[in-house]
Structure 1
Amino acid sequence: MADAPGAVKQGAQDYAQLLGIQSGHSVQEVGWDNDCDSLISESIEDVIGEELLDEETDELCDVVLLWWRESDGDLVDGLVDCIRSLADNGRIWLLSPGAGKPEALASGVISESAQLAGLVQTKAERLGEWQGSCLVQRGTKKIV
């Protein structure tokens, strides 16, 4: 039996709530690959009621989900690219493999890279096997 329109699957609201994502938000997803947790992406789509915007969008977004692994390159460059997509008071959720997992980021990389990109970390959440770090532009008052 198909879900009723607007029905939120179990766990979807939990992820969305942890990430501060609500119906009506526009969300872009960057860096998704086969190793990512599709439940996170799908649950957010369930809550916002539409598909996540892809990396090529020109739209300004309330939230950018940035999946990042140690081998993906320079995190500062990745963050700066994501800032271009952010609406006023928007935020980046950097999703990286949890500590001790393959491709996990070294200690201090997130805070140092965020600072160099002009961002500040406001919150951290564990999302299954992934670690989420909420990053906002300096001077942004809205902390989620």
Structure 2
Amino acid sequence: MSPSADAPSSSSAAEALSFTTGQIVQEFGYDDDVDLDLRDAIEDLIGADLEDEDSQEIVDGVILWWRDGDGDLTDAMVDTLATLAPGAPVWVLVPKAGRDGHVLPAEIQESAGTAGLRVMSTVSLAADWTGTRLASRS
């Protein structure tokens, strides 16, 4: 069975995040509902494990799993910036519309602006998650 346009394969979804071999990627918001196939595909793509949110490494990108009810999104976005290399992306991964925990795009946009980030693009990732790429304003 081929993947539908609504649910890209995990490897193509990981590639859509534009990470490359050798990069260090930090993960925030891990919980039992994350897409493990997507995580594995990202790790395969970069050739390493994802760094956890306590890591002090300077990182080439961040994935932030976020659901409605997780707390203050702006604060979480600011936390992702602590060890982020200049120009590196922050990907906010939220449940798709209609799924438990969905976050409205307007909330992501507003939180990003307050955190000093801007929304660059949004992509469909896996069956249940949407990713929004954020970049620093500088």
> Could you state the TM-score of these two structures normalised by the residue count of structure 1?
0.86
Higher relative contact order (CA 8 A, sep 6+): 2
Query: Is the radius of gyration larger for structure 1 or structure 2?
Result: 1
CA deviation after TM superposition for structure 1 residue 107, in Å: 4.3
* Rounded Cα–Cα distance in structure 1 between residues aligned with 2:129 and 2:13: 12
Q: Match of 1:122?
A: 120
Q: Match of 1:133?
A: 132
Code of the aligned partner of 2:58: L
CA deviation after TM superposition for structure 1 residue 17, in Å: 1.8
Aligned CA distance change for structure 1 residues 49 and 33 (closer, same or farther; 3 Å)? same
Q: CA-atom RMSD, angstroms?
A: 1.1
Q: Match of 1:60?
A: 58
Q: Match of 1:105?
A: 103
Sequence identity (%): 40
Decide which of 18, 34, 41 is 1:20's aligned counterpart.
18
> Could you state the TM-score of these two structures normalised by the residue count of structure 2?
0.89
* Rounded Cα–Cα distance in structure 1 between residues aligned with 2:40 and 2:92: 17
CA deviation after TM superposition for structure 1 residue 39, in Å: 0.9
Flag structure 1 segments of 5+ consecutive residues without an equivalent: 1-10, 140-144
User: Greater share of strand residues, 1 or 2?
Assistant: 1
Q: Match of 2:6?
A: none
* Rounded Cα–Cα distance in structure 2 between residues aligned with 1:52 and 1:84: 16
Code of the aligned partner of 2:48: E
Aligned length in residues:
129
> What SS does structure 2 have at the residue aligned with 1:86?
coil
Code of the aligned partner of 1:46: D
> What SS does structure 2 have at the residue aligned with 1:90?
coil
Moved >4 Å (runs of 4+)? none
Code of the aligned partner of 2:131: G
* Rounded Cα–Cα distance in structure 2 between residues aligned with 1:126 and 1:23: 22
> What SS does structure 1 have at the residue aligned with 2:64?
strand
CA deviation after TM superposition for structure 1 residue 58, in Å: 0.2
Code of the aligned partner of 2:86: D
